[in-house]
Amino acid sequence: MATSTAYAGVWSSLPTTLTPWIADVVSSLGHTQMTPVQAATIPLFMKNKDVVVEAVTGSGKTLAFVIPILERLIRRETKLKKNEVGALIISPTRELATQIHSVFSLFLKAQPTEEVAEGEEPPERTYPDPLLLISSDQSSPAQDVQRFLQSGADIVIGTPGRIEEFLLGRGQGSVSARELEVLVLDEADRLLDLGFQVSLTRILTSLPKQRRTGLFSATMTDALGELIRTGLRNPARVVVKVQSKQTRKHAGGEVIEERRIPANLENLYIPCRTSEKIVQLARIIQHEAASRGASHFIVYLSTGACVDYFYRILPRVFPSTSTSPIVPVLHSLHGNLPPAARTRTLAAFSTALATPQAPAVLLATDVAARGLDIPHVDVVVQVEPPADPKAFSHRCGRTARAGRSGRAYVLLCGREVEYVDFMAVRKIPLKRHPYILAAASEDMDVGEDGDEERLEDADVGRVQDAIRDFVRTDRTLHDLGAKALVSAVQAYSKHQASYIFRLKDLDIVGLSKAFGLLRLPRMPELRNTDPAGQGWADADVDWSTYAYADKAQEAKRLAEQAAKKTQTADRAEAAMQRRNKKKSNSAWSAQQDRRDEREKRREKKVTKRKWERTSKKAEAAEGEKAGEKATGQGEGDAVPAKRAASACSDDEGNDWKELAREERMAKKLKRGEVSQKAFDAEFGDL
């Protein structure tokens, strides 16, 4: 592997000589020679050519557009008016925009000033300070326009939303882009990934066509094609590749390997179990600090919730994995933090006076993956590979910058080792590093097929116990841990290389061990899982008394708990009332049935009387018939009476007999010969 950065000549070899004070700043920064991307891009920009630049991180892309912009503005025949923009730089994140702004400010502060007599005010610098447009509590879009008009800034740097508002919103009519010399889109592919395409199209349409445009990024995507066609005119493509020589003994010669990462970067992966990831993270930091003197680390986690949780938890992990006196100083950075907090964190980490005994560790999401130039970062650790494979090289590129060497680790579990081949296709080679044991000087290779043949690291249990002991002190930590785990699982399901990172293969129980959770959260992904079979046991916690350290939050919990008890009691009472009502309704229903039965009996009695009367008539008719039979008369008169008697059915006759029996029983009841209970039992009148 190459051990030095390639250079492409001294600055004086440029076709256009640099302005002396610009050359002095470049020299003071220690850049005695140009990098390939600078040597290829600066002359093109100076010759009125649009450029599309693709180069690895840390290759000097920022100076490749800062210097041409300054030189073009200096060489203008007419000075820009106070309301005119000369150069516009658009960045996807506020951190990158702030960094670019600081580079321009560094150059502009070095402008020479004229000598003045005593008592006279010094003249203003020829070129005012650049204007930074980012979301901030200290400046609204209206104030941005006001600051621009007051300062007369020639160079404007910002994020797409603020720049769109600056040009087409609050600043429309006040800000003029008619004299725009240069437009730069830094990390252009990221601008599109974050959904800024609509804003970019509106901005591009409002800018003059007679301008120079540059697109800069470490990776280019197909989506940039549309942007290139609409915003650039016959652009020159600049692609700077990194090559390293590798000697293959079996071939007996050197093979040129193309890479998309800095030549001085050693890219490593460690196979381990999911439950061992946090243990390995702590050991990597201890190992690099103790053996290589590393003092600045960036650790990438999948979500902001994970960053918040491990920012609290990691100090408890290090004493459990080693007796080393290393005590890291942690910093956290993610997109959910307020802008001011993100700025403070980045500044604190960048300026930290870290040592191997007290290394500075930045826990971050991909918000810190692109464009940030922190030259003294020694090691990058990726606990999880990024969901977007393009971000992998950007993460690694935070180290080994500006000619320095660096190391980058990624932790892979089980079939995730296939990610190595996936990255190799993208010209990002990864070298296997043995599993790091408790003693920093000892490593253990777990074999090509993963870690199935060895027992789980003993430190996993110790770390889990240490985290649990700390989490028991504050219920807030438990909530953070559960939220972090759920967000990590959701992020895992969104990996673009889904055939490698399959959610069904993720060891969620092992991940819960690594997080030191007290109990498993309720998740659909754990529905068919047997945690006990995977060595999981919930912590012994009385959840009714497990309290928040914050008094206001604890008071709220107790109030909710009391309200829940009241609600439970109310539900029980309501259930009792429903049962009682059901019984009451049941009694009413029985009474109604008895009333219906009595009504039926009355109807049958009426029918019986009619039948008896009809029967008597029929009997009388039969008697007359018998008498008339002797005389041969009255035979026809008996037929209607007989037919009337037969109109009653046999069933009705039986019912009437039953009614007769009931009447007899009722008479006995009145005489006291039978009891009411016996009567009700006989005739069902309950």
Helices 458-471 & 304-321 angle (0-180, nearest 10) = 120
Answer whether 372's CB lies under 8 Å from 177's CB: no
What is the CATH classification number for the domain harbouring 318? 3.40.50.300
- Residue 99: domain span: 11-112+126-240
Q: Is residue 40 part of a domain?
A: yes
Q: Which of 527, 551, 579 is the last residue of a domain?
A: 527
Q: What pLDDT, on the 0 to 100 scale, is given for residue 283?
A: 94
* 437 and 472 belong to one structural domain: yes
Q: Is residue 301 part of a domain?
A: yes
HSE, side-chain direction, 13 A CA sphere, residue 352: 25
Q: Which residues of 74-100 are buried (b: 16+ CB within 10 A; e: fewer)?
A: eeeeeebeeebbbbbbbbbbbbbbbbb
Q: Is residue 599 part of a domain?
A: no
The terminus-to-terminus CA distance of the chain in angstroms comes to 101
How much is the pTM?
A: 0.72
Q: Is residue 152 part of a domain?
A: yes
Q: Is residue 285 part of a domain?
A: yes
Q: What pLDDT, on the 0 to 100 scale, is given for residue 620?
A: 78
Q: How many domains does the chain have?
A: 3
* 234 and 290 belong to one structural domain: no
Alpha helices in 261-338 (DSSP H): 277-292, 304-321
Q: Which of 172, 206, 240 is the last residue of a domain?
A: 240
Counting as low any pLDDT under 70, the low residues of the chain are: 1-6, 114-125, 220-230, 242-260, 322-324, 371, 402, 439-453, 583-591, 625-656, 683-686
* 97 and 184 belong to one structural domain: yes
SS3 state of residue 300: strand
* 472 and 571 belong to one structural domain: no
Residues contacting residue 248 through CB under 8 Å, at least 6 positions apart:
254, 255
Count the neighbouring beta carbons within 10 Å of the beta carbon of residue 672.
Answer: 7
Answer whether 101's CB lies under 8 Å from 132's CB: yes
262-280 per-position pLDDT tens digit: 778 999 999 999 999 999 9
**DSSP tag of 254:** E
Q: Is residue 616 part of a domain?
A: no
* 20 and 139 belong to one structural domain: yes
* 314 and 221 belong to one structural domain: no
Q: What are 583's two structure tokens?
A: 């019984």
Q: What pLDDT, on the 0 to 100 scale, is given for residue 645?
A: 46
Q: Is residue 633 part of a domain?
A: no
* 343 and 366 belong to one structural domain: yes
281-336 per-position pLDDT tens digit: 999 999 999 999 999 999 999 999 999 999 999 999 988 776 667 889 999 999 99
* 198 and 283 belong to one structural domain: no
Q: Which of 208, 240, 272 is the last residue of a domain?
A: 240
Q: Is residue 629 part of a domain?
A: no
* 356 and 409 belong to one structural domain: yes
* 517 and 549 belong to one structural domain: no
Sign of the Cα pseudo-torsion (446, 452, 456, 460, in order):
positive
* 83 and 177 belong to one structural domain: yes
Q: What pLDDT, on the 0 to 100 scale, is given for residue 248?
A: 47
Q: What is d(CA 625, CA 527) in angstroms, rounded to the nearest whole number?
A: 91
Q: What is d(CA 196, CA 159) in angstroms, rounded to the nearest whole number?
A: 10
* 441 and 479 belong to one structural domain: yes
Count the neighbouring beta carbons within 10 Å of the beta carbon of residue 150.
Answer: 10
Answer whether 620's CB lies under 8 Å from 641's CB: yes
SS3 state of residue 494: coil
Answer whether 36's CB lies under 8 Å from 403's CB: no
Q: What is d(CA 55, CA 46) in angstroms, rounded to the nearest whole number?
A: 19
